[in-house]
Amino acid sequence: MQNSSRIEVFLNNMMKSLRSCSVMNVFQDAVCTLNTLQTNASALEQVKRERGHPQLQLQAMRGFLQRAGLKVEELDRLNIIHVTGTKGKGSTCAFTEQILRNYGFRTGFYSSPHLVQVRERIRINGQPIGKELFTKYFWQVYRRLEETKEAHGGSMPAYFRFLTILAFNVFLQEKVDLAVIEVGIGGAYDCTNIIRRPWVCGISSLGIDHTSILGDTIEKIAWQKGGIFKLGVPAFTVKQPVGPMKVLQERAEEIGCSLSVCPDLEEYESEGSLRLGLAGHHQRRNASLALQLSHTWLQRHFLTGVGVSPAPVFQPSPAMIKGLAETEWPGRNQTLKHGPVTYFLDGAHTTRSMLACVRWFNEVTPQHERNAGGSVVRVLLFNATGERDCAAMLKLLSCHFDFAVFCPNITEAIATCNADQQNFNVSVENMLTRCLDNQQSWRVLNGQEEKPEAELLIGGGLPLVAERHSDTLVFPCILSALQWISQGRDSVLSNPNKCIIPLKPSINAKAAPLREAVSIHVLITGSLHLVGGALKHLDPALNS
């Protein structure tokens, strides 16, 4: 009898394991299929066709939504909070979602980009949807679009459009009480802007970014961001410079909605200062915007003028205070301590956000250095993508580090790299060339003698040896960079399951200060994709 019971337990465990493997395989198939939408020919043709006629983007998005079996009118049921901005929109959404979840509402939250796994972009009650749920709804939507593509010239939605449709479908099917939707790029012509009747709209800090799409001045960018305003829907903004604020006011008057400017966080009536779960002084603006968005949403839920006015100062409820304190948003002003190695991670990728990152880093590191009780080596791990002004960002960082390390946003230089983090839109050659350019910029900024450009060792695959000039190095992937920086002193990276990239003895010899220091402080910044790739290795829980 005892043996029979043990066999039954064994069989049950085996079946669970098989089911788990099956779920993982089907999930990875879904992610790999999703990745094909990054570069398929019809998607590229869409981009070319719509670049000169941005209004076509929303028209196309409505068509894809209908083909997926959804109607624009159905989105009204999601009681949406729609948020845009250049910097801080994701953090604002995270604060807002946490506050409203603390009231007991079932929340949906759509954001981008993801750090480790693509399902992070679609959250229910603060958690990424499970692999089974993602897989179920992915194939449901994909097959509907696949079955109708021949009748529409073979067109399929590009990556971000598809995920937006998928998020709407998930939130409707899972019957959330509300959905917090973060704009992808801009606002007016972003594919999330097919939303007709949000409950409230918010704009975080504006700055210069995505200029080839949004315009080359902050006023042009403000016009795009103000495009999410809707007739009669209250809108809130953090304090902005005079030029863009005037544009936002004009947009609000033109569309027919109220626009209010959020007060400073210190102005709210509260016993003592409000504690935030996210580090960095700039998060106080985002928290104030989140308080106004959640407060307005709650007023409409429970209670079922044009121009710019001050948003009301009120006393935050206990649920709001708790929500601000408990908000988590990985990869933004995040600190991870692994024994003698402390990582400071921030996805800053514009000059303005890098200023905030440097301010945060300078605020938090002195206490860590005092606690170290000995020598500390500071290391910068940097990469940036797209049209970012890397030299301007590096200039802000140039006085702070003993080593500057550069690598592309490739998690591992092996074929088993996570499908969630694959990017087929940029070649390996381009990524590594960008790293070498950044290395050269760093050398110039630090007054080091220029040397001939390093050879790109690509050939049949990625280079497996770091190229070093003075105190700067370029590595082929994020894992190899982290392994060199930590020098075996981080037990998480010393996991025997992780591939060890072989390095020349001369490269390892240069790491002597890292081995001898009491502590190593590593700032990882320049790209949310870089931060996400690092977290894949540094926080194993994010891979589960």
Closest by CA position to 91, among listed 327, 315, 271: 327
Give the three-class secondary structure for 335: strand
Q: Would you list the DSSP string of 283-326?
A: HHHHHHHHHHHHHHHHHHHHH---EEEEPPP----HHHHHHHHH
Cα distance between residue 480 and residue 465, in whole Å: 9
- The structure tokens listed for 518 are 């009491």
Question: Does 494 show up as a binding residue in the annotation?
Answer: no
Amino acid of residue 472: T
- The structure tokens listed for 367 are 């206490």
- The structure tokens listed for 300 are 């409409």
Question: Does 281 show up as a binding residue in the annotation?
Answer: no
Q: Compute CA distances 61 → 144, 156, 229, 531, whole Å.
A: 15, 10, 18, 30
Question: Does 332 show up as a binding residue in the annotation?
Answer: yes
Instruction: Determine contact, residues 396/354, Cβ cutoff 8 Å.
Output: yes
Which are the contacts of 418, defined by CB distance < 8 A and separation ≥ 6?
116, 117, 411, 536, 543
- The structure tokens listed for 447 are 């007054």
Question: Does 182 show up as a binding residue in the annotation?
Answer: yes
Residue position matching structure tokens 């005079």? 242
Buried (b) or exposed (e) across 197-214, using 16+ Cβ within 10 A? Answer: bbbbbbbbbbbbbbeeeb
- The structure tokens listed for 215 are 């315009």
Q: Would you list the DSSP string of 468-532?
A: EETTEEE-SSHHHHHHHHHTT--TTTT-TTSPPPP--HHHHHTTHHHHHSSEEEEEEES-HHHHH
DSSP assignment, residue 87? B
Burial of 476 (0-12, 13-18, 19+ CB in 10 A): buried
Instruction: Determine contact, residues 108/124, Cβ cutoff 8 Å.
Output: yes
For the chain, how many residues are written?
Answer: 544
Phi, psi for residue 260 in degrees, rounded to 5: -120, 145
Closest by CA position to 419, among listed 63, 112, 25: 25
- The structure tokens listed for 67 are 């083909």
Cα distance between residue 399 and residue 396, in whole Å: 8
Cross-strand pairs, 472: 404, 469
Question: Does 144 show up as a binding residue in the annotation?
Answer: no
Closest by CA position to 498, among listed 537, 533, 543: 537
Cross-strand pairs, 258: 307
Cross-strand pairs, 379: 403, 522
Cα distance between residue 235 and residue 252, in whole Å: 8
Closest by CA position to 364, among listed 326, 333, 319: 333
Cα distance between residue 70 and residue 7, in whole Å: 48
Q: Where are the alpha helices (DSSP H) in 406-470?
A: 428-445
Residues forming the annotated binding site?
Answer: 112, 182, 210, 332, 346
Residues forming the annotated binding site for Mg(2+)?
Answer: 112, 182, 210
Residues forming the annotated binding site for ATP?
Answer: 332, 346
